[in-house]
Structure formats: C-alpha cells, structure tokens
Amino acid sequence: MNLHEYQGKELFARYGLPVLPGQVAGTPEEAREIAAQLGGLVVIKAQVQVGGRGKAGGVKLAHTPDEAFEKARDILALTIKGLPVRKVLVAQAADIAKEYYLSIVMDREKKLPLIMLSAEGGVDIEEVARVAPEKILKQHIPLEGLRPYAARALMMQVFSDFAQAQQAASILLKLYTVFMDGDCSLAEINPLAVTPEGKVIALDAKVVLDDNADFRHRDWDEHWRDPADESQWSRLAREKGLSYVKLDGDIGCVVNGAGLAMATMDLIKHYGGEPANFLDIGGSSNPEKVTAALKIITNDGHVRAILFNIFGGITRCDDVANGIVASLKESPLPVPLVIRLTGTNEEKAREILSSHGLGATTSMDEAVQMVIARAQEVTA
C-alpha cells in the first residue's frame, strides 16, 4: 500500500518528524479556504502516487488565497503520468536554502534496511543516481537497529553544519521508527530541506507499506486506503485474494501458485510469447475466484488468449475444472482458452471439461506453445 504525501506527512507528524502544517483539498474553493486559514505563502501539491510531480507542474506556490484557488484549479485539471489529480495538499510553504535526499528502503538482497542519503536532493535525484551514483551515500542498518551515534556520524558526512547534522540525525532516527513500526518497504523524504534559518524539515513524504504486513495495519486500511486510487480490477483482485500484476504482453495466465506462475511466464517468453499478467489464484479452486480471475484478465484489452495452468496437489483439478465451467457459464470468454492441468483428480477434471466441450493437456510445454499459436491466430 502506497500512502499519499499528505498521509505520509500525517504519519511523520505522529512520530515527531518536522513537517509543515497543511490540509488536503478536493476543490479549488477548499484550497482557498485552507490557504486563508494557514495565512502567508502556501504550496499546492498534486496528490498522486507517482514521483516527478514537481516537474509535471503539480507543485506550485501561492501568495494569496485567491492565487491558491487558481493554482489548485490548474493542478486539479492535470493528469500526471496517467493519473488524474483528484486532490491537492495545501501546505504552509517553506523557504528553501538547500535540498537533501533521505530514504530508508528494504534491501532484499542483504535482508537489511538501507539508508540512502545525498546532499543533491530535490527533483533531479533520479538523474543524480544515474550520472553520479557516488553522490548518494548508502549504509545498511544492522539487525540491532540504528544507534543515535551512528545516525550522527552518517549525517556529519553530508552536512557541514553541526546543528543541522544533529537535526538530520534526529529525523533519520524517527524515520527509522516509522519504517520499522509501519513495516515499510520505503520511507523517503525528498527534499529534506534546510531553511535559510538552518531548520531541517521534511517537505515531501513517500511511504510504502509492505502488503505482506497488511494484517498488522488494519488501521492504515481504514484510515488511508482510498478506493479511488486503485483500479476497479486491482481492487477486485485484492478483495478476492488473488495476487495480480498486469504486464504488457497479450497472453493472459491463470495459475495456482506463485512459483508455477513464474515458471509459466518464463516458458511463455521462452517460446516467444509475452505474458499479459502474473496471476496466482492460490491453492483455491473456488469458482468465484476463477470467475474473478477471468474477469480481471479479459478486461485487459491486450489479451488475445488465456492459459490456465494448474498443478493439482492440495488443489484438486476437478474442483478447478468445475470452477472454469461455472465461470464460463456465467460469462463466456471473448478470447481462446488453453487449459493445462495435471495432478490430483486429473482424470475427473478432464471428464468435466470434455462434457462441456473443453479440452486440456498435461504438458506445460505443449500448452504454452498452443496458447501462443492461438494468440497469433487472433492477431492475424
């Protein structure tokens, strides 16, 4: 789950991280009102979950409430990287003397959180990472945790002013607590800004909760999950307990088990095809899940053929076959379907399918080659 900036800042504030006051607005009128309440210079910021809002015209300063109205109206009319802007954050604006970059990400290879820190923060950080990666300091946080002295020592490498280094160290320690308490895969502040008076503040917040820890953060769900941020289809997938990732190819895959799903995608590539998605229906053969899976896949207009790949272990092939049949009765497929199943109750499954005019192979190679051929026929 990704948090919006205003939500990330709300979380930051709970942990005592320095953020400037602000509120979210859905209309230019609300933006004007918030700006009037805040008084002085405000910044209007598009609340969409992509980076690069600044460069896309999604971050603007406003000197008066009326200007806040105008800027909010302009930003609310934008679509940034395919996402329509539905809300803006109206916050007290800071004077910026310098912009730093600070984040903690989970390094899956080392299995440790990794701090990334740079004196070259701001909207060009991706460019810095590309052309001058040595300007981004990286340091793992050991299992024992992050000690205050270690945080200070790190900040002293980047901040020349001692008082600022101390503020930044305190921010890092709090950010680490956010990261750990929130089971985050990312907690990022860019820019971590220094004001002309030498105060260090978090001017942006990007927080990603590892969905595997969802169950520990029901409150995040209630408080922060916004159905409008999710496409109808990823919502359906989440509600039905399917793991679904959309890809760019034209061969839809429905598979039981993540490992088999990966292997299926590999094999499709191997035979020159392109998978349209990763979809794991898990160990379930529940027709409802099968129907949801097929709905999600066929909604992707690029899909030209669908491959069902089931390895029956605990999952019984006949259950899956019943699921497929029930699902097709409810909504016939607009594209060809190739079924491969093997394992528990395979024979029964084959009978069920053939009594409904469907065939199935046992060989994965054969099924994959077949589905690629069917997709090409459709294209031709």
Least Å distance, CB 123 to Mn ion, is 7
Nearest to ligand GDP by Cβ — which residue? 54
Chosen from Mn ion, ligand GDP, none, partner binding at 371 (C-beta under 5 to 8 Å by type): none
Output 40 or 332, the one with its CB closest to ligand GDP.
40
User: 165-190 as b/e, with b when 16 or more CB fall inside 10 Å?
Assistant: bbbbbbbbbbbbebbeebbbbebbbb
| Catalytically annotated residue among 5, 30, 99, 188 | 188
Piece of the chain touching Mn ion by CB under 5 A; list 64-72, 199-207, 214-222, 234-242: 199-207
Least Å distance, CB 104 to Mn ion, is 15
Output 97 or 112, the one with its CB closest to ligand GDP.
97
Catalytic annotation present for 188: yes
Backbone angles phi, psi at 303, to 5 degrees: -70, 125
Output 7 or 344, the one with its CB closest to ligand GDP.
7
Piece of the chain touching ligand GDP by CB under 6 A; list 52-60, 112-120, 171-179, 293-301: 52-60
| Catalytically annotated residue among 6, 100, 101, 244 | 101
Catalytic annotation present for 101: yes
Q: Exactly one of 53, 240, 316, 350 binds ligand GDP (CB under 6 A); which one? A: 53
Does 22 engage in binding with ligand GDP (CB under 6 A)? no
Chosen from ligand GDP, Mn ion, none, partner binding at 45 (C-beta under 5 to 8 Å by type): ligand GDP
SS (H, E, C) the chain: CECCHHHHHHHHHHCCCCCCCEEEECCHHHHHHHHHHHCCCEEEEECCCCCCCCCCCCEEEECCHHHHHHHHHHHHCCEECCEECCCEEEEECCCCCEEEEEEEEEECCCCEEEEEEECCCCCCHHHHHHHCHHHCEEEECCCCCCCHHHHHHHHHCCCCCHHHHHHHHHHHHHHHHHHHHCCEEEEEEEEEEECCCCCEEECCCEEEECHHHHHHCHHHHHHHCCHHHCCHHHHHHHHCCCEEEECCCCEEEEECCHHHHHHHHHHHHHCCCCECEEEECCCCCCHHHHHHHHHHHHHCCCCCEEEEEEEECCCCHHHHHHHHHHHHHHCCCCCCEEEEEEECCHHHHHHHHHCCCCCCECCHHHHHHHHHHHHHHHHC
What does the alpha-carbon distance between residue 34 and residue 24 come to, in Å, rounded to a whole number? 8
Least Å distance, CB 97 to ligand GDP, is 10
Site for Mn ion in 176-195 (CB under 5 A): 190
Does 72 engage in binding with ligand GDP (CB under 6 A)? no
163's CB contacts (< 8 A; 6+ apart) are 198
Site for ligand GDP in 114-143 (CB under 6 A): 122-123
Does 318 engage in binding with Mn ion (CB under 5 A)? no
Total residues at interface with Mn ion (CB under 5 A)? 2
Chosen from ligand GDP, Mn ion, none, partner binding at 229 (C-beta under 5 to 8 Å by type): none
Total residues at interface with ligand GDP (CB under 6 A)? 17
Does 36 engage in binding with ligand GDP (CB under 6 A)? no
Residues 205, 210, 214, 215, Cα dihedral to 10°: -130
Binding mask of the shown chain, residues 74 to 103, with x at each position contacting ligand GDP by CB under 6 A: -------------------xx-x--x----
Does 71 engage in binding with ligand GDP (CB under 6 A)? no
Output 171 or 337, the one with its CB closest to Mn ion.
171
Does 204 engage in binding with Mn ion (CB under 5 A)? yes
Does 346 engage in binding with Mn ion (CB under 5 A)? no
Active site residues: 101, 188
Residues lying near ligand GDP in the complex (CB under 6 A) are found at 43, 45, 51-54, 59, 93-94, 96, 99, 122-123, 190-191, 203-204
